[in-house]
Structure 1
Amino acid sequence: MRFHADLHMHSRYAYACSKNSDLEQLTWWARRKGVTLMGTGDFTHPAWLDRLRTALVPAEPGLFRLRDDLDREVSRTLPGSVASAPVRWMLTVEVSTVYSQGGRSRKIHHLVHLPGFEQVEAFNRVLAGIADLGVDGRPTVRMSARDLLETTLAQGEGAYLVPAHVWTPWFGVFGSKSGFDTLEECFGDLTEHVFALETGLSADPGMMWQVSGLDGYRLVSYSDAHSPPIVGRETTVFDTYLDYFAVLRALRSGDGLAGTTEFFPEAGKYHVDGHRKCGVRLDPEETRKLGGVCPVCGRTLTVGVQSRVEDLADRPAGRSPRGAAGFRNLLPLPDVVAEILGVGPKSKKVAAETDRLVAALGPELAILGDLPLGDIAACSPRLAEAVGRLRNGEVTKDPGYDGEFGRIHTLAPMRP
């Protein structure tokens, strides 16, 4: 079975996340987007864990589904083309480790996956001894990344950890502000138990392939959704049984890992270098010439993902390791529709048109990546043109920097 998975997610209990991020609305948006397997996120938060226990019921091994009465209510307001699509849930949480190592402060985010509520309860008991888990759905713990990995592995069969958005300046394992140059520095004697890495919005596999030391790792992409409408903006595609342990085997071996759908990395908030307060955006070469100092205020620039990748790269761009899964860069459908209509992506006109397209053509990810352009043209010729350009990479890019999202245009003239 081929399906999209989005295993980096947050609930209404996580800091700076939408109050609408509940299981029903997340399921609604997963169906509309075409995402089959979702991460619950935030299972360390007591209130969210209570909700997971009451609203989810066991499905395939290690996975859960929404309770029948809740599922019927979700399906009632969706168009028939997506209303009955299966959605399964995996128990996940993002954990922030904050500690000192090598004379530097380290702030690293990780995704923890567990196959059952018993393992979740045992994991939470350990973290509750060092942190107040009711404060934030994304808990911050005063322990090393290596010790968090050990705590995860102690939960038994199926427990695994994936370093999150590995290049993000402040919270990625390779981040320019508080990360490391190698995974071995971070995880020490337990490094062999790390087998997958999340690319994050500001990078894609093509960039990561420049670092040969990462060749043995499976690359995954997820949305890190802080609100339901952005579910599925990045996904990992599996071709396996819909089963927790089948997904885990695919991540360990690569067999059944079919690739990822990615943001254009230039659209991410930390792709290039800069200083947002001063309106300064720089490419890596310019940053190096300036010694990493903002030319306006004289303070240190935020060094983005592209610079950091170049710092660690040992081979040129454009090469992929043998056996690596592929990827494709896409945009959220509302962003494409917004450009066609000449209005903002959150406008009522865009919502209405996107509703019409999904009702006629099916889920958003299928429209963007798989549906024949002729079928799209029958419904919207301009959308077919935009999607064709998107699939061919014929887009114009204004890269993001220092917390400012970039912009990707499908219908603007290509730059020389």
Structure 2
Amino acid sequence: MAVSRAMRPEKLLAACAIKGLHILGTGDALHPVWQREWKPFLVNNEGICVIPTGEVEDEHRVHHLILAEDFGQFDQLRDLLAPKSKSISTNGRPHVHLSGETIAEWTHDAGALIGPAHAFTPWTALYAYHDSVAGCYGSEPVDFLELGLSADSSYGAGIPDLYGVPFLSNSDAHSPQPEKIGREFNRIRVGSNLSARVLLDCIKAGSITMNAGFFPEEGKYNRTACVRCFTQYSPEEARQYNWRCPTDGGLIKKGVFDRARELSCGAPGSRPPYLHIVPLGQIIQTIEGASSPNTKKCRTIYDAFIAAFGSEIDVLVTSPVPEIRAVHPKVADAIAALRENRVILHPGGGGKYGTFSLV
């Protein structure tokens, strides 16, 4: 459900090679059929480390992300969760009639890591229903926090509850298309012997050296807005209208930007740098004025960049702008503008993605 039919292990791995990703989570690792699909691809993937990952929804609709060393840990969790879930074998992200504290306790007992998924999103997220980590997880600690597309590190840096909790910026891809997979990623110090166990230890130790992803304003829940017409409101206006849009009566949903400001009552803690990026395909689409990054012209330009530089992340993050200009001058100018933060942002809200334009 909710993903492309092209979401197959072999296509995801091929997309990682083009994107420049060296670590890939399986997603949906509680699902036994999806496990079987992945088992032939767990080793010898040309430098790409595959780790079992999954997401569950608790009794209060909060989503939790689980990272494990092997599928056996998810098998153990499935056995424990099955009596409390009607969708454990039919839904990749099952609903479980348990508290976040119990799910976290059982996850830790299995030797896996857990943290809130897309923690600031106003639906099905930690801070949609709770004002603190303990409000959801009780005495059980979390091993990380996933920021989600509508937030970057600055949104959580001033929340005392999160001091010392590593932040992850994950893509949560629903398609292996280049503009969808790896649109957010993490750079993690793992040494020369990368494995699932090493990776989990590094995440728990906070060995993240950089987060990369959307400008938060591009996320579809960044600003407080009506979920029908997407008109944006200040928190004061929303309260005045009793959280109902005066234009069409639609629900006004509090945005991540305003929610994070409510929770930030401490001095911002030190965090690894956060690199704001836009997928290369989206940049090309914008420059060419195309209807999609997958038009023939856009794909030809994209393929030329991959042929010249090896991966999309190399183009976006490390390649010198003069070398990029040799492939496509206007794309080079756009990447330079992004690196220098010369961007005009048009925030999203209420379920509508934000947009950007270049100065």
Q: Shorter-chain TM-score: what band?
A: over 0.9
The one-letter code of the counterpart of 1:329 is H
Tell me the alpha carbon deviations over residues 162-209 of structure 1, each in whole angstroms, 9 at most, x when there is no partner. Answer: 21100011111012xxx2000011111213xx1310000000001211
Partner Cα distance (1:271, 1:314) in 2: 20
Partner Cα distance (1:349, 1:221) in 2: 30
2:222 is aligned with 1:271: yes
Task: For 1:70-89, list aligned pairs within 5 A.
Answer: 86-89=47-50
Task: For 1:165-314, list aligned pairs within 5 A.
Answer: 165-175=118-128, 179-191=129-141, 194-229=142-177, 230-241=180-191, 242-254=194-206, 256-314=207-265
Partner Cα distance (1:234, 1:283) in 2: 28
Partner Cα distance (1:29, 1:384) in 2: 23
Counterpart in 2 of 1:124?
78
Partner Cα distance (2:78, 2:232) in 1: 42
Partner Cα distance (2:209, 2:230) in 1: 39
Counterpart in 2 of 1:141?
96
Partner Cα distance (1:113, 1:279) in 2: 35
Is the contact between residue 46 and residue 133 of structure 1 (CA under 8 Å) also seen in structure 2?
A: no
Counterpart in 2 of 1:326?
273
Counterpart in 1 of 2:26?
40
Partner Cα distance (1:367, 1:282) in 2: 37
Identity %: 31
Partner Cα distance (2:235, 2:90) in 1: 38
Is the contact between residue 65 and residue 89 of structure 1 (CA under 8 Å) also seen in structure 2?
A: no
Is the contact between residue 29 and residue 71 of structure 2 (CA under 8 Å) also seen in structure 1?
A: no
The one-letter code of the counterpart of 2:260 is V
Structure 2: runs of 5 or more not aligned? none
- Aligned to 1:189, the other structure's residue is in SS state coil
More displaced 10-residue stretch of structure 1: 285-294 or 359-368: 285-294
Tell me the alpha carbon deviations over residues 1-55 of structure 1, each in whole angstroms, 9 at most, x when there is no partner. Answer: xxxxxxxxxxxxxx211111010110011111101000011111121111122x2
Partner Cα distance (2:254, 2:297) in 1: 37
Is the contact between residue 94 and residue 112 of structure 1 (CA under 8 Å) also seen in structure 2?
A: yes
Is the contact between residue 144 and residue 204 of structure 2 (CA under 8 Å) also seen in structure 1?
A: yes
Paired residue total: 353
Counterpart in 2 of 1:342?
289
Q: What is the Cα deviation at residue 298 of structure 1? A: 3.7
Q: What is the Cα deviation at residue 343 of structure 1? A: 0.6
The one-letter code of the counterpart of 1:43 is A
TM-score (norm 1): 0.81
Q: What is the Cα deviation at residue 228 of structure 1? A: 0.9
The one-letter code of the counterpart of 2:173 is A
Partner Cα distance (1:304, 1:250) in 2: 32
Q: What is the Cα deviation at residue 210 of structure 1? A: 2.7
- Aligned to 2:336, the other structure's residue is in SS state helix
- Aligned to 1:141, the other structure's residue is in SS state coil
Partner Cα distance (1:259, 1:342) in 2: 31
Structure 1 pair 278/120, CA: closer, same or farther in 2 (3 Å)? closer
The one-letter code of the counterpart of 2:35 is L
Partner Cα distance (1:339, 1:300) in 2: 32
Q: From the two aligned structures, give the one with the greater strand fraction.
A: 1
- Aligned to 1:311, the other structure's residue is in SS state helix
Structure 1 pair 285/383, CA: closer, same or farther in 2 (3 Å)? farther
Q: Which of these residues, 10, 23, 38, is aligned with residue 52 of structure 1?
A: 38
Structure 1 pair 290/65, CA: closer, same or farther in 2 (3 Å)? farther
Structure 1 pair 173/118, CA: closer, same or farther in 2 (3 Å)? same
Counterpart in 1 of 2:355?
407
Q: What is the Cα deviation at residue 245 of structure 1? A: 2.9
Q: What is the Cα deviation at residue 288 of structure 1? A: 4.6
Is the contact between residue 230 and residue 349 of structure 2 (CA under 8 Å) also seen in structure 1?
A: no
Q: What is the Cα deviation at residue 346 of structure 1? A: 3.2
Counterpart in 2 of 1:151?
106
Partner Cα distance (2:28, 2:200) in 1: 20
- Aligned to 2:139, the other structure's residue is in SS state helix
Root-mean-square deviation (Å): 1.7
- Aligned to 1:237, the other structure's residue is in SS state strand
Partner Cα distance (2:273, 2:152) in 1: 10
Counterpart in 1 of 2:117?
164
Q: Which of these residues, 20, 44, 48, is aligned with residue 6 of structure 2?
A: 20
Partner Cα distance (1:122, 1:253) in 2: 24
Partner Cα distance (1:370, 1:169) in 2: 34
Partner Cα distance (2:62, 2:260) in 1: 17
